[in-house]
Amino acid sequence: MSMNIVLLEPEMPANTGNIGRTCVATGTKLHLIKPLGFEITDKMVKRAGLDYWPHLNYEVYENFEDFLEKNPDCIGKLYMATTKARHIYTEVAYEPDSYLMFGKESAGIPEEILVKYEDYCMRIPMEYNIRSLNLSNSVAIVLYEALRQHQFAQMELQGHLHRLHWHEE
């Protein structure tokens, strides 16, 4: 199982760094579509991703068409997060190798793209007066739902406490 996160024109390096860290923790590939609001070498990206960034499986594309051309297998499993969607993210039956796409922080995914993929648009429920959630939080919410649907395949499911001996006095 290998999920994919697609960021269309991300603007904030800290969000992308946090998303990169989430991708490493879940074995997910990160796809970055230009223009980016920062350089990949930006210290804010690295700081947010901490020491995980060198382990990140990612690819950068010139534009959305370049992404589609290089990932023909995404057709039929490219899900777009938008506040304009009719369906909630938990209503989607995600394939084990789905592509979960998120737009830039200031504007989301352009409507000319959304109308072509209307049946693949999903939203995270929010109060009516809220414009949107933080990008890295949105990615985590949707990605973990997709992973949950596949029983978190190939992920560590159990932690282990280090049993300390406490003495009652």
Beta bridge partners of 29: 4
* SS3 at position 104: strand
Q: How many CB atoms lie within 10 A of CB 70?
A: 12
CATH class, domain 4-148, is alpha beta
Question: What is the distance between the alpha carbons of residues 70 and 101, in angstroms, rounded to a whole number?
Answer: 15
Q: Look at residue 73 and tell me whether its pLDDT is greater than 80.
A: yes
3-state SS, residue 150: coil
Q: What's this model's pTM, rounded to 2 decimal places?
A: 0.90
Extents of the domains making up the chain: 4-148
Binding residue positions for S-adenosyl-L-methionine: 103, 124, 132
Please state, in angstroms and rounded to a whole number, the distance separating the CA atoms of residues 24 and 82.
24
pLDDT tens digits, one per residue of 4-48:
999 999 999 889 989 999 999 999 999 999 999 888 876 666 666
Read off the pLDDT band of 154 (50, 70, 90).
confident
**Known binding positions:** 103, 124, 132
Confidence class of residue 168 from pLDDT cuts 50, 70 and 90? low
Q: What is the pLDDT of residues 114-141, one digit of tens each?
A: 999 999 999 999 998 888 899 999 999 9
Picking from 65, 128, 136, the residue whose alpha carbon sits closest to that of residue 100 is: 136
pLDDT exceeds cutoff 80 at 158: no
Place of tokens 């594309």: 61
* Mean pLDDT for all residues in the chain: 90
CB 82 within 8 A of CB 109: yes
Instruction: Say if CB 106 and CB 11 are below 8 A apart.
Output: yes
